[in-house]
Amino acid sequence: MSAIDNIIVLLGPPASKSDQDRIAKHAQARQQTCEDAQVEQLPALVDPLAEREPSRPSELETIFSELLERPVTLQSYSCTYIEKKATRYPAVCFATQDIIDADGRQIAELVTMFFRSSDARSALAEVLGKRLGVEWSRVVVNFGLADRD
């Protein structure tokens, strides 16, 4: 059976007019497209969601914990982009090997089983998209080969 290697959340443009104006102003000042400016500013939006307080999970960990119905820790994530037809779409990538349970064990198999469902992917897209204030968001996954003994 193949396992999910990465969960990738693609993000549309900002939903609010003020955020759209901020991105457009940033893009104009740097002589870049709004999409490139949004990609450049993505870490400033996502990083605060990953910050932990002592003995409290991050907001990203809470989102995944609620979806997976168990406490999880996110060891890392990447702010990146996907390019299609000369347009860059900001994206946040979560490697399944970096999602661990409360005991520090990898739970890639559980994550794979859960996120095989389009409903699960839609739920993550909805929650994260709303939290980041974007017009739309989509979750895609990529598969690799499961470890073989």
Q: What is the CATH number of the domain that holds 8?
A: 3.30.70
Query: Is the pLDDT reported for residue 147 higher than 70?
Result: no
Per-residue confidence (pLDDT) for residue 148, from 0 to 100: 44
Helix (H, G, I), strand (E, B) or coil at 134: strand
Per-residue confidence (pLDDT) for residue 15, from 0 to 100: 86
Per-residue confidence (pLDDT) for residue 86, from 0 to 100: 86
Query: Is the pLDDT reported for residue 12 higher than 80?
Result: yes
Q: Tens digits of per-residue pLDDT, 53-111?
A: 888 999 999 999 999 999 999 999 999 999 989 888 999 999 999 999 989 999 999 99
Q: Count structural domains, the chain.
A: 1
Per-residue confidence (pLDDT) for residue 82, from 0 to 100: 93
* Global confidence as pTM: 0.89
CA 128 – CA 132 distance, rounded (Å): 6
Residues 116-122 have a mean pLDDT of 96
Question: Range of 116's domain?
Answer: 2-145
The backbone torsions φ and ψ at residue 54, rounded to the nearest 5 degrees and listed phi first, read -55, 130
Quote the DSSP letter at residue 70. Answer: S
For residue 30, the tally of other CB atoms under 10 A from its CB is 11
Q: Tens digits of per-residue pLDDT, 100-115?
A: 998 999 999 999 999 9
Place of tokens 């409290």: 56
Residues 13-26 have a mean pLDDT of 88
Q: Tens digits of per-residue pLDDT, 28-41?
A: 999 998 888 899 99
